[in-house]
């Protein structure tokens, strides 16, 4: 299974209504696949961002420093060039369309990487 590391709180947002992942590269081999989402150690959390995300999702954003590791899976159904979602960020060349998010009960500790990477064999998602 492929894994994508996403900065916090964006990784968390994928399981609370974020149906677009803004990337500078094409998902290629991940299209049509279920991939794991890894919440990286990088954190973009600010009070202003938490407020904006709350307005979009209706859910309180976790505090900074929480939810590190693999937090669930999602299906990459394709890409789009049309702003079909409030999560489409202008300036991102690729808007990955995400569907069917399945959060895990609790994060699985795992080191992240850049790009799409393969889930280590010793990490079990079930």
pLDDT in tens, 33-49: 999 999 998 888 899 99
Closest of 13, 10, 8 to residue 40, by C-alpha: 8
Domain count, the chain: 1
Q: Is 100 exposed, middle or buried (0-12, 13-18, 19+ CB in 10 A)?
A: exposed
Task: Name the token pair of 86.
Answer: 């409030």
Tokens of 16: 């609370």
Q: Does residue 123 form part of some domain? A: no
In 3D space, the residue among 68, 75, 66, 63 whose CA is nearest the CA of residue 108 turns out to be: 68
pTM of the model: 0.92
Give 95-104 pLDDT, tens digit per residue. 999 999 999 9
Q: Say which CATH number the domain at 27 has.
A: 2.30.130.30
| Residues spanned by the domain of 79 | 2-113
């Amino acid at each position: 299974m492929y894994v994508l590391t996403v900065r916090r709180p964006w990784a968390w947002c994928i399981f609370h209504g974020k149906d677009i992942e803004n990337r500078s590269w094409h998902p290629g081999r991940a299209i049509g696949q279920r991939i794991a989402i890894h919440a990286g150690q990088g954190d973009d959390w600010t009070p202003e961002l938490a407020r904006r995300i709350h307005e979009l999702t209706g859910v309180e954003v976790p505090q900074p420093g929480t939810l590190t590791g693999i937090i669930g899976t999602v299906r990459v159904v394709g890409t789009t060039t049309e702003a079909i979602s409030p999560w489409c960020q202008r300036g991102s060349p690729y808007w990955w369309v995400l569907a069917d998010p399945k959060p895990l009960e609790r994060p699985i500790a795992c080191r992240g990487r850049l790009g799409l990477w393969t889930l280590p064999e010793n990490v079990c998602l079930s």
